[in-house]
Amino acid sequence: MIDIRININNKEEDLKLLNDFIFGKLFAEKGCENETLYVTNTYTGNNFKTLSYEPNEMKGHHKGDKKASTDVLVMVNDGTLINLEAQQAKQEKFYKRSHFYNTKIYSILLNVGEDHENLPKTIMINIINFNLHPLDDYHTVFTLCEKNHPEYKMDDIIETHYIDLTIFRKSEIF
């Protein structure tokens, strides 16, 4: 776990970086744009210049639809929507939650009669503190591609990143 030590009323406290409140204070508030752009550009390989914060609660269109609240939802200068999520506790099927959030973003973007061509690219960046899959890379990226020919991508409209902090801490990138 990545901890931040601060002094509150002359008492040292440990803050967990992946705590929703702390994560939100670091990346989801006005004044944090540079930090959010740095993380986004570093892991996506893009060079986004500006961003705007979007409402992070996504409601359904019908009574009984499941709601979702993202940790950080931003739109960058080219219209791409980026969702940064932090997850401390291991969830066995976390990738399903990640897929749900990404598709939930799409479900709220278009109204009846609007053209699907208007859908922007979405990038999901999940910063997790547990092993999700058997790969040894701390940063993995999933896109839509043909099963037998993974080099053939149908579209680059959906991109999902996982940054596994348990592997990151062991890596020799420094």
User: How are beta strands 57-58 and 11-16 bridged, if at all?
Assistant: unpaired
Count the helices and strands in the chain (H runs, E runs): 4, 10
Q: Is the Cα dihedral 162, 142, 79, 102 positive or negative?
A: negative
Q: Which two three-digit tokens encode residue 101?
A: 């959030």
Determine, yes or no, domain membership for 2.
Answer: no
Determine, yes or no, domain membership for 173.
Answer: no
User: How are beta strands 81-87 and 57-58 bridged, if at all?
Assistant: unpaired
Determine, yes or no, domain membership for 143.
Answer: yes
| Residue 134, CA distances (Å) to 27, 29, 76 in order | 29, 34, 32
Q: What value does the mean pLDDT take over residues 121-148?
A: 91
Better-scored residue on pLDDT, 97 or 63 = 97
Q: Which two three-digit tokens encode residue 151?
A: 């080099």
Determine, yes or no, domain membership for 60.
Answer: yes
Residue 1 has what pLDDT?
40
Better-scored residue on pLDDT, 162 or 18 = 162
Residue 140 has pLDDT above 80, yes or no: yes
Mean pLDDT taken over the chain? 80
Better-scored residue on pLDDT, 154 or 125 = 125
Q: How many domains does the chain have?
A: 1
Determine, yes or no, domain membership for 98.
Answer: yes
Q: Which two three-digit tokens encode residue 119?
A: 């859908």
- What's CA 14's distance to the chain center, in Å? 24
Convert the pLDDT of each residue in 21-62 to its tens digit.
Answer: 777 778 888 898 999 999 999 999 999 999 988 866 655 555
Determine, yes or no, domain membership for 27.
Answer: yes
Determine, yes or no, domain membership for 134.
Answer: no
* Cα separation, 104 vs 147, whole angstroms: 24
Query: b/e map of 143-171 (b: 16 or more CB within 10 Å)?
Result: eeeeeeeeeeeeeeebbbbbbbbebbeee
Q: Strands (DSSP E) along 3-152, which ranges? A: 3-8, 11-16, 51-53, 57-58, 68-69, 72-76, 81-87, 122-128, 139-143
| Domain that includes residue 161, residue range | 16-129+139-168
Determine, yes or no, domain membership for 74.
Answer: yes
Convert the pLDDT of each residue in 102-133 to its tens digit.
Answer: 877 777 776 767 788 878 889 999 999 899 98
pTM: 0.80
Convert the pLDDT of each residue in 76-112 to its tens digit.
Answer: 999 999 999 988 888 888 888 888 888 777 777 767 6
